[in-house]
Chains A and B, each alone.
Chain A
Amino acid sequence: MSSILKLREFWLAVLIAALVFATDMRAPGFANPGRLSGIVEDSSILMILALGQMVVILTRSIDLSMASNLALSGMIVALINKAAPGIPVPALMLIATSCGLLLGALNGLFIWRLGIPAIVVTLGSLTIYRGVIFLIAGGQWVNADAFSASFVAYTRIEFLGLPLLIWYAVAVVAAFVILMSRTSLGRSFYAVGVNPTAAVYAGIDVGRTTFYAFCLSGLLSGFCGYLWVSRYVIGSVEVARGYELTVVAACVIGGISISGGVGTVAGAVLGALFLGVINGALPVINISPFWQMAISGAAIILAVVLNGRGAKRSQRLILRQAEAAA
């Protein structure tokens, strides 16, 4: 029991529940199942992306290109759907996912093979991928009437009372629980992040593991590309602009340490849910949506402050230097 109380995921869940409860007091009816499932639906894409970002951050890297990757993969399937409405949607999902995987692998290759810091590579690909959207679409938007009915329906069809979008998120979360706790790849993400030198001695290829992390984040970004375009029924250059930092924010709020090696699937999911609940609650209690940005900013700062163990950090730094010298 006491070990549960020490878990920050537990307290984050309590905080989210309290937030829902408090909002329900101010605006009765907020906590009804329909509304809550709406909030989960709104945060589904962020959840999936946060899981992808999590593995990257675990390996001491960062992927700033996720939103651009999402927008590009989404635009590609949007254009395909516009040109050939007959192609079944599952095939389009597969195309978006593999397109995302390819873009992620490209990032990973530069980081693994050339040893360029991840933040530099993904900063570059962030602008490149978004520029490519403009090129392939010729500066045009893909408007709502250009999509086939099934393209739009595949995130909306209800199954057991919940829209498919939520089920996709559930499936990804389940896959990640297994990946992170039951496979050697999942464990090696942690090993590489906690101590790369030790990981090498344990027979883990640090570069290759980082590469896989970027493949994974790319793959999920691509998949979310379809989900985003289908949910918001628009394909344009502006899709998800600036969203990469929201994804990082969800991870940070979920307790994933930016210095690597620390973080859980539950944390990433709850971090995304937290932002989703705030976004859902604000309009209900008559606070202008313009408050949203400042509040999520404050939440991030608060999360880092609560997470921060300043003293420990500098100790670990000394340890790291000692390892480097040894």
Chain B
Amino acid sequence: MSLQSPETRHIPDRLGTPLKAAIFSWPSLLLVVGVVLFIVNSLASPYFLSPWSLSDATFNFTEKVLIALAMALLIIAGEIDLSVASIIALSSTMMGLALQHGAGTPELVLIGIVTGLICGAFNGFLVTGLGLPSIVVTIGTMSFFRGISYIVLGDQAFKGYPESFAYFGQGYVFWVFSFEFVLFIVFSFIYYLLLHRTNFGRQVFAIGNNDVAARFSGIRVERVKFILFLLTGLMSGIASVLLTSRLDSTRPSIAAGWELEAVTMVVLGGVSILGGAGTIQGVVIAALIMGLVTFGLGLLNVPGIVMSIFIGVLLIFVIALPIVFRKFRNRRR
């Protein structure tokens, strides 16, 4: 991870009022972008403003955002996990293997989640137990976990999951609200509480800002980081259950490239890639924005790869804009 040379920080004479701070905060800025996109979308396509098509749109991001929530905490704590998509592949493969041996729906779900936890624990051990840089460790485990899927599956696929298993990825809880969407709401709320309303959340911020100072103030840095890796593994396991259920099959290439999409979501959500700052609200809104963009452009028959240009530009633009703005303002001062 790149470290910038120390800069002198501008300290304001007076703190802004809470209302002003809330209006000019990152999530509000994102919200404006989101609303604009929503309006543009509904003007551009007549099919956009229907409850069912909006409900379909949520499937684009619900699984990814579950990972992004845990990833946000990890990045705030100054670490990263690039192996999340591979954990999905491995969990899915393990579920497929269990299916071959006659496992029912409850066992499948359990196996998927436990596999995710084990992978997370493995990452956590390498990073916190051995003190290795997470970006390299998880590039390694990224190949390793998915590699195991390839060893098991080769060019084959597991298919034929039970009927009841399909509920997780395809079922609806109430009217247009899919099980995935409800899970997304529930987990967003849980992660909001965890990061912004608990001691644990404060510790995550403290570690991300200065892990030496955090250690000296009695925070068990290694333990907190380990838990964060466990959480990321857990969420990847859950995402794997959802995705496997939705696709009704397992291939080793499942969820390829999702690690970078999850990181994009987190960074777009205003979490500092250098750690120490960020909000869950931002990540959730960023996920909604990415969902809106992909779905809206999809309705206009824009190919997926062109959408990715848009996401990439959005990522750089949204991060560069405040910096350019600040530079401009500082120059005037």
B87, chain A: closest CB distance, angstroms: 13
CA A19 to CA B5, docked complex, whole Å? 42
Q: Say yes or no for B18: interface residue by CB 8 A criterion.
A: no
Question: B1 contacts which chain A residues (CB < 8 A)?
Answer: 60, 62, 117, 119, 258-259
A200-B5, A290-B150 known; A252-B316 Cβ under 8 A: no
Number of A-B contacts (CB under 8 A): 185
CA A310 to CA B133, docked complex, whole Å? 9
Instruction: Return the CB mask of B116-137 against A: 1 if under 8 Å, else 0.
Output: 0000000000100011110111
- Nearest CB to that of B311 among chain A residues? A127
Question: B316 contacts which chain A residues (CB < 8 A)?
Answer: 110, 116, 120-121, 124-125, 128
- Check B319–A297 contact: CB distance below 8 A: no
- Would you list which residues of chain A between 224 and 277 have a CB under 8 Å from chain B? 237, 242, 245, 248-249, 252, 258-260
Q: Say yes or no for B68: interface residue by CB 8 A criterion.
A: no
Q: Say yes or no for B40: interface residue by CB 8 A criterion.
A: no
- Check B323–A128 contact: CB distance below 8 A: no
Question: A292 contacts which chain B residues (CB < 8 A)?
Answer: 147, 150
Question: A119 contacts which chain B residues (CB < 8 A)?
Answer: 1-2, 273
CA A298 to CA B327, docked complex, whole Å? 45
Question: A88 contacts which chain B residues (CB < 8 A)?
Answer: none
CA A35 to CA B273, docked complex, whole Å? 44
Question: Which of B27-35, B41-49, B158-166, B301-309 lines the interface with chain A?
Answer: B301-309
Q: Say yes or no for B298: interface residue by CB 8 A criterion.
A: no
Question: Which of B170-178, B236-244, B260-268 lines the interface with chain A?
Answer: B260-268
CA A245 to CA B313, docked complex, whole Å? 21
Question: B324 contacts which chain A residues (CB < 8 A)?
Answer: 114
Partner of B143 from A196, A206, A300, A318 at Cβ < 8 Å: A300
Question: A174 contacts which chain B residues (CB < 8 A)?
Answer: none
A51, chain B: closest CB distance, angstroms: 18
Q: Say yes or no for A148: interface residue by CB 8 A criterion.
A: no
CA A110 to CA B318, docked complex, whole Å? 13
CA A293 to CA B90, docked complex, whole Å? 13
A209, chain B: closest CB distance, angstroms: 11
- Would you list which residues of chain A between 305 and 326 have a CB under 8 Å from chain B? 305, 308, 310-311, 313-314, 317-318, 320-321, 323-324
Q: Say yes or no for A168: interface residue by CB 8 A criterion.
A: no
CA A78 to CA B42, docked complex, whole Å? 40
Q: Say yes or no for B146: interface residue by CB 8 A criterion.
A: yes
- Check A196–B3 contact: CB distance below 8 A: yes
A117-B273, A291-B151, A296-B147 known; A123-B260 Cβ under 8 A: yes
- Check A116–B323 contact: CB distance below 8 A: yes
- Check B132–A305 contact: CB distance below 8 A: yes
Question: B5 contacts which chain A residues (CB < 8 A)?
Answer: 196-197, 200, 206
Q: Say yes or no for A131: interface residue by CB 8 A criterion.
A: yes
Q: Say yes or no for B186: interface residue by CB 8 A criterion.
A: no
16 A/B residue pairs, CB under 8 Å, sorted by A:
A60-B2, A62-B2, A114-B320, A115-B4, A116-B320, A117-B1, A117-B274, A126-B260, A134-B306, A135-B306, A197-B5, A242-B256, A294-B150, A297-B141, A299-B140, A303-B140
Q: B residues within 8 Å of A by Cβ?
A: 1-6, 82, 126, 130-133, 135-137, 139-148, 150-151, 153-155, 210-212, 252, 256-257, 260, 263-264, 267, 273-274, 303, 305-306, 308-309, 311-313, 315-316, 319-320, 323-324, 327
Q: A residues within 8 Å of B by Cβ?
A: 59-62, 64, 110-111, 114-121, 123-128, 130-132, 134-135, 139, 196-197, 200, 206, 237, 242, 245, 248-249, 252, 258-260, 288, 290-301, 303-305, 308, 310-311, 313-314, 317-318, 320-321, 323-324
